[in-house]
Amino acid sequence: MSRPFVDVVIACHDASRPIERAVASVLHDDDVRDEVRVTVVAHGLGADAFEQRLAGIDGSWRVVSFTDGVRSAAGPFNHGLELVEGDYCAVMGSDDFLEPGAMSAWVRHVRAERPAAAIARIRLQGEAVMPNPLVRLGRIRRVDAAKDRLFYRTAPLGLIETAEMHRLDLRMTEGVRVGEDFDFGIRLWSVGRRVDFLGAAPCYVIGVDARERTTYAPLTVEQFLEPVTRLLDDGLPAELTPAHRRALAIKLVRISILGAAGTRRDADAWRGDDEVEFLAAALRRLLALAPGVLAVFNLKDRRVLDGLLAEPTVARVTADVLASSRAGRRARWLTKNPLRSFGRESTLRRYMLYYLKRERKVSPS
């Protein structure tokens, strides 16, 4: 084919993955099939087995072999993105797929609007659409990283302008067990030229029927927070506006700090007090990045966060996590200052938007 308009990179490290489903879904829409090319990066595998399986799929696709000896999708994704020639590009997991009509709608939008990135709606296989990012009601064009809560979706799923990817020098982070797309997505949403939300288009579907997903393997707190640590060490937050720094800090406290604590409810899930102190130190760095952000957190979460700052021990954090898990509606909905309970980043406002934007139809596939 001539130079494609869209290049889609799919990384695959396991020959048992449903790669045919992924490729066929990208090339499903016949009105844009001639404008799209799929590159399957066979990570540590030969290309022959994949080529035989894909032989019956109409459209432009290719398989390239890549070996780096590292069990991470970052290397093969970066290799595939280096081969991109289209005006726009995309990344996809080998377990995942697009709903019919998705690529057609995506291409129509970026041809007409020419954003630096267009964020796709996502859902887990067999479930309803996820309200992530939780954009302002009716907002599609020129979404904002803070006002539209883009940092909660660091995965750059959708279409990315190739020129913008090169201008920002976007790459997946190699050498981490999880979060290889962390820096990529945050930079794109915050310092990218223009970001749109494909709010009316069919979805990118995250497949859940694979035999195993490497990101489910147990991690230490240091490994879990490595993308956050790298982000802070590299100095990206200093490049952001105050509003974006604040939004990023809130997201990292909510997802990374509280997430690490909340998944370790038992004392034996912690290595020792030193691991809790590492988590507390990360929290202190985020508070230094954007002072005052704890005010937006509900009473339930504040119990855990305040405890980490006051007494970073296994005994204290597990007791606080247990107590917070039993919190009632008041503690889940309200902040220490009740007036802050309706702020953009508050739990109560989030629940209200979830209700207004919720998808009631669940797809079987």
Residue 365 has pLDDT above 80, yes or no: no
Where does the pLDDT of residue 117 fall: very low under 50, low under 70, confident under 90, or very high at 90 and above?
very high
pLDDT confidence band for 211 (50 / 70 / 90): low
Does a structural domain hold residue 362? no
Contact between 92 and 10 under an 8 Å Cβ cutoff? The reply is: yes
Task: Give me 300's structure tokens.
Answer: 């339930």
pLDDT > 70: what percent of the chain?
A: 95
The reply to whether 174 and 288 lie within a common domain is no
CB atoms near residue 233 (< 10 Å): 9
Model pLDDT, residue 142:
97
Q: Does 72 map to a domain?
A: yes
**pLDDT for residue 174 is more than 80:** yes
Q: Establish if 327 belongs to a structural domain.
A: yes
**Domain span including residue 283:** 218-357
Q: Which of 193, 215, 237 is the last residue of a domain?
A: 215
Distance between start and end Cα atoms, the chain? 31
84, 2 Cβ separation under 8 angstroms: no
Q: Per-residue pLDDT tens for 326-342?
A: 999 999 999 999 888 88
pLDDT at position 153 is: 93
**Are 142 and 96 in the same domain?**
yes
Residue 363: inside a domain = no
What's at 219, amino acid-wise?
L
Percent of the chain surpassing pLDDT 90: 80
3-state secondary structure of 298: strand
At 358 the pLDDT is 55
| The last residue of a domain, from among 164, 186, 215 | 215
pLDDT at 364: 54
Q: Is the pLDDT of residue 50 over 90?
A: yes
pLDDT at residue number 339: 84
Q: What is d(CA 96, CA 31) in angstroms, rounded to the nearest whole number?
A: 22
Taking all residues of the chain, what is their mean pLDDT, rounded to a whole number? 92
Q: What is the CATH number of the domain that holds 87?
A: 3.90.550.10
Joined tokens for residue 319: 């007791």
Let me know if residue 1 belongs to a domain.
no
186-209, pLDDT tens digit by residue? 999 999 999 999 999 999 999 988
How many beta carbons lie within 10 A of that of residue 169, not counting itself? 7
- On whether residue 84 sits in a domain, the answer given is yes
pLDDT digits (tens, 9 = 90+) for 22-47: 999 999 999 999 999 999 999 999 99
Average pLDDT over residues 259-265: 96
Q: How many domains does the chain have?
A: 2
Same domain for 28 and 128, yes or no, is yes
Residues 56 and 108 in one domain: yes
Residue closest to 20 by CA, chosen among 70, 59, 77: 59
Q: In terms of domains, do 234 and 346 share one? A: yes
pLDDT of 224 over the 90 cut: yes
pLDDT at 100 over 80: yes
pLDDT for 360: 44
- With beta carbons less than 8 A apart as the criterion, state whether 332 and 307 touch: no
The last residue of one of the domains, among 186, 215, 244, is 215
One domain for residues 99 and 22: yes
At 10 the pLDDT is 98
| 63-87 mean pLDDT | 94
Q: Does residue 16 sit in the same domain as residue 128?
A: yes
pLDDT band at 238; cut points 50, 70, 90: confident
Do 202 and 165 fall into the same domain?
Answer: yes
Q: Which pLDDT score, from 0 to 100, does residue 345 have?
A: 87
- Whether residue 136 lies inside any domain: the answer is yes
Are 96 and 20 in the same domain?
yes
Residues 281, 312: one domain?
Answer: yes
pLDDT band with cut points at 50, 70 and 90 for residue 266: very high
**Per-residue pLDDT reduced to its tens digit, 138-156:** 899 999 999 999 999 999 9
User: Based on the domain organization, do 151 and 227 belong to the same domain?
Assistant: no
* Res 215: pLDDT: 47
In this prediction, residue 357 carries a pLDDT of: 61
- Which residues of 129-234 form beta strands (DSSP E)? 129-130, 158-161, 195-198, 204-206
Q: Is residue 83 part of a domain?
A: yes
Task: Tell me the mean pLDDT in the region 296-302.
Answer: 96
| 210 and 267 belong to one structural domain | no
- Asked if pLDDT for residue 217 goes beyond 60, the answer is no
